[in-house]
Amino acid sequence: MNSDQILGAFILVGSIIGVVVYAVLLYYIPIWTLQVSAFLAVVFAFGILAWIGYTLATTPPPKPIEEVEKEVEEELKKLEAETKETESEAKEEKKS
């Protein structure tokens, strides 16, 4: 077995153990288990929302499409000029 398969086996066994422990806790102390589970679910959901909000707040806005189009046109013009130069140089070398 390679390391990924071993890790997968550990995750599988850990998940099964987690389900069994949760079921036992629900049987013996149901109110406490449900309260903790609900609290952790809410914390997880708000944590994801906080992460999304932080990412949106700290990411710089994208460039306007007009600015990007101008940059692309300039690059195309440069490439066309370079292509014409290399073609003219190749023609001159053939003449020589």
| Domains of the chain by residue range | 64-96
The amino acid occupying position 47 is G
Q: What sign does the CA torsion over 79, 83, 84, 86 have? A: positive
Model confidence at 94: pLDDT above 90? no
Model confidence at 63: pLDDT above 90? no
| 32 touches 39 (CB < 8 A) | no
User: Which residue in the block uniquely carries the two structure tokens 């036992």?
Assistant: 24
**Average pLDDT of the chain to the nearest whole number:** 91
Q: What is the pLDDT of residues 15-52, one digit of tens each?
A: 999 999 999 999 999 999 999 999 999 999 999 999 99
| 34 touches 26 (CB < 8 A) | yes
pTM of the predicted model, to two decimals? 0.57
pLDDT at position 18 is 96
Q: What is the pLDDT of residues 6-19, one digit of tens each?
A: 999 999 999 999 99
